[in-house]
């Protein structure tokens, strides 16, 4: 008896399984536009590369030019403490964790959409006991109590004749790839923010060390002035000026503690640790000793593959294009195949025997004849969303080029400013030495010393500020260049095919015909 039930289940499963190979025959037709990567205007070279050639400054990378493509890009700065902190971002930063969760959800959605290629098989068993009315005349069931035992399998399948499911899978896969790129963009952003905060904190440490050294010199000056006053050489105004200079500088040194504490707290949050339990000690030696990284970024067209945000925007264009196909499939009828089989009897002893078998098999074809423009409106909406995603993609490309140019310009200008500022610092130090010597000889008043000291300190602090800005621009440049990431990594997302190569990239130096082709937004309408 058990074998009969098993045989029946096998037969019902077989009736459902024969439909699966058929899907390979009917799924070849996909309505809607096939995806073509949109074009974007790309210059042949970066403006700032040409600017460096004109002023003969060239490029002076702190490491080999390819160092930013090694993955752990922060290692180019040679700071072991920064390396240790960066290693914690991917594991503990909550923004990165949230992005990873969104990627897992997008990948699960791909599996959900792909499951629609196959039949849905359900099984059920039931028992009911029914008492009929004795007033049912002319029936043999009047006044009877009837048992009903049943067990069955149901299989339903909608062949993907018009490619609706295929387009849905295509869209979900592109969204999963976009989510993977988003995850990398968030990770890169958090890593860059950590490096920027870290160098800012080290800059404050360097500035605090400068102020501490200055305070030591000011105390000596105050002691000297007090000694000269006791000897009747200096005036009480000189002593007052020396005291004011010392106390003002002490207040400036104390004020740096607020900025340092805030940066330390920000770093703690970035590495996923409560600020109250995190401390970043002052490094022995010279803080802010890292050199800014300035490397030729290559041709602009490579940026389309190196920036995760550009890759994410391009993948969303592909997803929107597939949704146009999904909306187009609604104009065609759907085919549904259903199989039902099982056992049913009114007596338990007769339940699991051959005569209790039942089955049914039949197709159903259904289509919408009139919806007063509803489907057309849905397709128009999908087309509009596609056009919007194309515009967003091109805007993302423009923003990316702007960020690279901004930071290349910042590095070039700050490099020149640093050289000029170093000369100013040297000149201020020489002037201060001369003024102090003349004051000791009684040739000038202490006010001249105060002015020279203020000028020297201001120039030295400005030099530290420029050094911090150069490192911040260097980190921003690495981030703008993608941090060594490449869009080819998206090929491994759910076994998906890699994104189309940017073969349609147009250079800004091409002729008017190329410009007309580039600037025309590709529309899904013409592909229907």
Q: Per-residue pLDDT tens for 287-298?
A: 777 788 766 667
Average pLDDT over residues 356-367: 86
- pLDDT tens column, 423-445: 999 999 999 999 999 988 888 88
| pLDDT class of 494 with cuts at 50, 70, 90 | low
Q: Judge whether 197 and 270 are in contact, CB under 8 Å.
A: yes
Least confident range of 15-24, 266-275, 431-440, 500-509: 500-509
* Separation of alpha carbons 314 and 9, rounded Å: 48
**pLDDT class for 352, splitting at 50, 70, 90?**
confident
Are 34 and 527 within 8 A, CB to CB?
A: yes
Q: Which domains does the chain have, with CATH numbers?
A: 1-30+119-133+142-159+333-366 (2.20.200.10), 33-92+161-220+254-332+375-527 (1.20.1600.10)
Pairwise CA distance, residues 160 & 28, whole Å: 9
Q: How far is CA 515 from CA 458, 508, 510, in A?
A: 51, 8, 7
pTM, full prediction? 0.82
Torsion of CA 476, 478, 484, 489, to 10 degrees: 20
pLDDT of residue 146: 78
- Cβ atoms of 62 and 76 within 8 Å: the answer is yes
Q: Find out whether 322 and 382 touch, Cβ atoms under 8 Å.
A: no
Sign of dihedral through CA atoms 435, 440, 444, 445? positive
Helix 236-270 × helix 80-92 angle, to 10°: 40
Counting residues of the chain whose pLDDT is more than 70, the rounded percentage is: 81
pLDDT confidence of 493, banded at 50, 70, 90? confident
**pLDDT tens digit sequence for 187-216:** 999 999 999 999 999 999 999 999 999 999
Phi and psi at residue 436, to the nearest 5°: -60, -40
């Amino acid at each position: 008896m058990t074998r009969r039930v098993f045989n029946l289940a096998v037969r019902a499963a077989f009736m459902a399984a024969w439909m699966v190979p058929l899907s390979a025959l009917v799924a070849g037709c996909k309505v809607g536009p096939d995806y073509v990567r949109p074009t974007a205007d790309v210059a042949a070279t970066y403006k700032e590369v040409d600017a460096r050639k004109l002023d003969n400054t060239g490029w002076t990378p702190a490491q080999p030019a390819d160092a930013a493509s090694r993955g752990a890009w922060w290692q180019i700065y040679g700071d072991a403490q920064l390396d240790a902190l960066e290693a914690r971002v991917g594991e503990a930063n909550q923004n990165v964790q949230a992005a990873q969760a969104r990627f897992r959800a997008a990948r699960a959605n791909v599996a959900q959409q792909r499951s629609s290629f196959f039949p849905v098989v359900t099984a059920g068993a039931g028992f009911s006991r029914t008492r009929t009315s004795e007033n049912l005349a002319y029936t043999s069931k009047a006044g009877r109590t009837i048992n009903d035992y049943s067990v069955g399998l149901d299989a339903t399948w909608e062949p993907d004749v018009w490619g609706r499911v295929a387009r849905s899978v295509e869209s979900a896969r592109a969204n999963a790839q976009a989510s993977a790129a988003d995850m990398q963009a968030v990770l890169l952003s958090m890593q860059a923010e950590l490096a920027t905060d870290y160098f800012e904190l080290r800059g404050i440490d360097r500035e605090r060390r400068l102020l501490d050294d200055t305070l030591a010199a000011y105390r000596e000056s105050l002691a000297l002035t007090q000694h000269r006053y006791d000897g009747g050489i200096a005036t009480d105004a000189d002593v007052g000026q020396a005291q004011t200079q010392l106390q003002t500088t002490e207040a400036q040194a104390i004020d740096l503690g607020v900025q340092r504490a805030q940066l330390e707290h920000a770093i703690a949050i970035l590495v996923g640790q409560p600020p109250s339990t995190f401390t970043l000690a002052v490094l022995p030696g010279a803080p802010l000793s890292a050199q800014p990284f300035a490397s030729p970024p290559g041709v602009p067209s490579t940026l389309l593959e190196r920036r995760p945000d550009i890759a994410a925007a391009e993948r969303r264009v592909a997803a929107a294009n597939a949704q146009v196909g999904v909306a187009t499939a609604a104009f065609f009828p759907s085919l549904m195949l259903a199989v039902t089989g099982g056992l049913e009897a009114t007596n338990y002893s007769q339940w699991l025997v051959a005569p209790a078998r039942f089955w049914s098999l039949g197709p159903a074809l259904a289509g919408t004849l009139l919806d007063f423009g509803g489907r057309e409106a849905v397709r128009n909406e999908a087309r509009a969303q596609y056009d919007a995603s194309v515009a967003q993609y091109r805007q993302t490309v423009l923003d990316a080029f702007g960020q690279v140019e901004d930071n290349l310009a910042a590095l070039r200008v700050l490099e020149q400013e640093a050289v000029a500022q170093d000369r100013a610092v040297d000149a201020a130090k020489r002037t201060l030495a001369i003024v102090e010597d003349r004051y000791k000889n009684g040739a000038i008043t202490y006010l001249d010393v105060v002015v020279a000291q203020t000028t020297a300190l201001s120039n030295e602090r400005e030099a530290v500020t420029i050094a911090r800005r150069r490192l911040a621009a260097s980190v921003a440049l690495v981030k703008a260049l993608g941090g060594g990431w490449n869009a080819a990594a998206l090929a491994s997302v759910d076994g998906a095919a890699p994104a189309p190569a940017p073969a349609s990239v147009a250079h800004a130096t091409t002729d008017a015909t190329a410009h007309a082709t580039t600037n025309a937004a590709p529309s899904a309408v013409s592909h229907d």
